[in-house]
Amino acid sequence: MGGTAKAQPFFTGAIVVQPASALERFVRSAPAGAEFVYCEATEPQYGETWTRAAELARDGLVRAHHRRRAGGGWEYYAVRTAKRLPREQSPAEKLLGDRAAAAIFAELKRAASLGLPCPSDADLKRKAGLNSRDQAAWRVRRLIDAGLITSTLAYEGGVPTRVVTIAETRHAGSAGGKFTALPKKWAELQRAAQRDFEASQTVRGTAEQPIGGATAGDRR
C-alpha cells in the first residue's frame, strides 16, 4: 500500500446555522468583500437567518450565495458590499414618518405660531384624516414622548384649556418655543409680566449710563 493516506474532509450531515444576530453583527463591522458563512447543511434550508440574509441582500448590504461544500452538502454565505448602513433614525424622525402624526404636529405648530387656541382632539382627528379622537390623542402623547411638544392644562373658572408648547428642535422651524393661546386671565398675567420685565431692563440700562453722558474715555 505504501505512502500516507491524505485525510479528506467529510460532511457528517449535521446542520450548522448561525443566528440572525450574528449576521447582523457581520454587516455592521465587516469591510467590503468579507464573507460570512451562516449555514452548512446537506439540503437547502430556510428560516429566520435566511429571511434576514434575503432582506439584507435586497437592501444592497450583502450578496447572498451558496456553494458546494467539500465533502458534501452546501455552504450558505454572505459577502459584504461597500454600501453603508442607513443612518439610525431618532424617535422623533420615526414618529414623523407617520403621516397622521406629521399632520397633527403641523397643525399644532400652526396654532402656536399664530397664537391660536390649541386644537381639540376632534379637530386634530379631522385634520389628520383619522377615524377617532383616541387615535389623535394617542399621537399627541407620542409627540410629547418624542420631545417635540409639551402640553399642560391652564384653568380659569374651573375650566381647563390645553396649552401646547412647541419644543425648540430642528423639526420645529419658526414655531420653536411658541405656544398655543392661554386663557384670557393667564394671557393678561403674562403680558403684565412681560411689561414688568421690559420696564426693568429699561431702568437697568438707564442706571448703567455714566453721569453726564461721559464715556470711560472722557473721564480719563
Q: Which among 87, 101, 113, 112 is positioned nearest to 145, based on CA atoms?
A: 101
* Dihedrals phi, psi of 164, to nearest 5 degrees: -110, 130
Same domain, 38 and 103: no
Predicted confidence at residue 69, as pLDDT, reads: 85
Beta bridge partners of 151: 164
pLDDT tens digits, 11-67: 445 688 899 999 999 999 999 999 999 998 887 777 889 899 999 999 999 999 999
Give yes or no: residues 112 and 171 share one domain: yes
How confident is the model at residue 83, as a pLDDT? 95
Q: Do 98 and 155 belong together in one domain?
A: yes
Give dist(CA 113, CA 107) in Å, integer: 10
According to the model, what pLDDT value does residue 160 have? 87
Span 87-100, pLDDT tens digits: 888 999 999 999 99
Name the percent of the chain lying above pLDDT 90.
57
Shared domain for 97 and 23, answered yes or no, is: no
Which residues, other chains included, contact 156 with Cβ-Cβ below 8 Å and sequence gap of 6+?
183, 184, 185, 186
**Cβ–Cβ under 8 Å, residues 79 and 62:** yes
Cβ 177 vs Cβ 165: under 8 Å: yes
From 22-26, 174-178, 179-183, 191-195, the region with the lowest mean pLDDT = 191-195
Distance CA 9, CA 3 (A): 19
Last-in-domain residue among 53, 80, 107 = 80
Asked whether residue 120 falls in the same domain as residue 182, the answer is yes
202/174: higher pLDDT: 174
Identify whether residues 145 and 170 lie together within a single domain. yes
Do residue 134 and residue 166 come from a single domain?
yes
- Tell me: the pLDDT tens digits for 114-164? 999 999 999 999 999 999 999 999 999 999 999 999 999 888 878 888 999
Per-residue pLDDT, 158: 82
pLDDT at 8: 43
Q: Is residue 211 situated within a structural domain? A: no
- The answer to whether residue 41 is domain-embedded is yes
Q: How many domains does the chain have?
A: 2
Task: Name the residue range of residue 123's domain.
Answer: 91-206
Q: Is residue 169 part of a domain?
A: yes
pTM value?
Answer: 0.55
Q: What is the CATH number of the domain that holds 161?
A: 1.10.10.10
